[in-house]
Amino acid sequence: MELREKMTQGLVYAPGVWDGLTARLAEQAGFDALCASGFAISAALGYPDAELYTMSENLQAVRVIRESSTLPVIADIDTGYGNAVNAARTARRFADAGVAAVFMEDQRSPKRCPLIPGAEVELTELPEAVGKVRAVKENAGDMIVIARTDAKGDEALRRAEAYVAAGADMIMPVTKTFSTVEEWAKCHELVGVPLMATLTASAWTEREFTTEVMEQIGVRLALLPTQILMAVTGAAQRCLTRLAAGEPPAAVSEDGLPHHDFVGLIGMDEIERQQHAYLPAGG
């Protein structure tokens, strides 16, 4: 089922993934879509979320995710990696990769993560930001184009209206754009298109945006961009700390996933089936 159709049937949750393993796990858990999280992809490369990786590195991660799962992918294309011409090329490349939707922000490049304490982001001037949204829309093919704004209050509403007029299919306020549910509802009423929300770990939206609330204020896509990353990182830290402290590996392994279970979930049974079907006996 395509992402557009899924959204007509109700709110769609998309966890943040960054590679084939996390994509496979998310699909097995029962989700209907995936978010190729820029925050997580950057972290997997060993970088903070400051647009230090290139478009090509992001695209490669998205291709791996697409290959590992049958679910529609919502991809973070940061600032489009340049001006409107660069953003248009980015849209074409991600469309060619089979991405279902992309979201692009209106920060100046290089971007800054708005969740950094005290971070002030610099926005692209509105006429330039509108041109970039239009360029992405005109080169997106069947992809859903989601315009993200890092502005606040009335300026965010002004920008959201302008982005919809430029062709955006959905609007994505960040967690700092508005501070109340009522402001989100006002945004939806003003722009007349569905909203996408990020339920980032520890953000106020994670606490207050229940399924019922989001359905009331026009949210049709809800990203869970950092929950998997934080859980995996915490587990890896604990495992490595115990091993580095000299704890017997067998004791540490007792608290992890059994090897045979991992082999099963990663798809070894299917590879075995293909080997029997295609390889000569004894080959």
Poorest-pLDDT segment among 16-30, 32-46, 261-275 = 261-275
Give yes or no: residues 119 and 255 share one domain: no
Give yes or no: residues 246 and 127 share one domain: no
What's the rounded mean pLDDT across residues 84-90?
98
Give yes or no: residues 154 and 241 share one domain: no
d(CA 75, CA 78) in angstroms, rounded, equals 9
From the CB of residue 230, how many other CB atoms can be counted at a distance below 10 Å?
Answer: 15
Look at residues 183, 187, 213 and name the one whose alpha carbon lies nearest to residue 199: 213
Give yes or no: residues 151 and 265 share one domain: no
CATH value at residue 85: 3.20.20.60
d(CA 167, CA 155) in angstroms, rounded, equals 19
pLDDT of residue 115: 60
d(CA 98, CA 63) in angstroms, rounded, equals 8
What's the number of domains the chain is made of? 2
Judge whether 27 lies within some domain. Answer: yes
pLDDT bracket for residue 226 (50, 70, 90): very high
Distance of CA 4 to the CA centre of its chain: 16
Judge whether 283 lies within some domain. Answer: no
Rounded to 10 deg, the angle between the 20-29 and 227-244 helix axes is: 120
pLDDT bracket for residue 100 (50, 70, 90): very high
Task: Note down the domain range covering 29.
Answer: 3-227
Judge whether 253 lies within some domain. Answer: yes
Give yes or no: residues 48 and 156 share one domain: yes
Distance of CA 203 to the CA centre of its chain: 16
The pTM of this model reads 0.94
Give yes or no: residues 215 and 242 share one domain: no
Give yes or no: residues 8 and 95 share one domain: yes
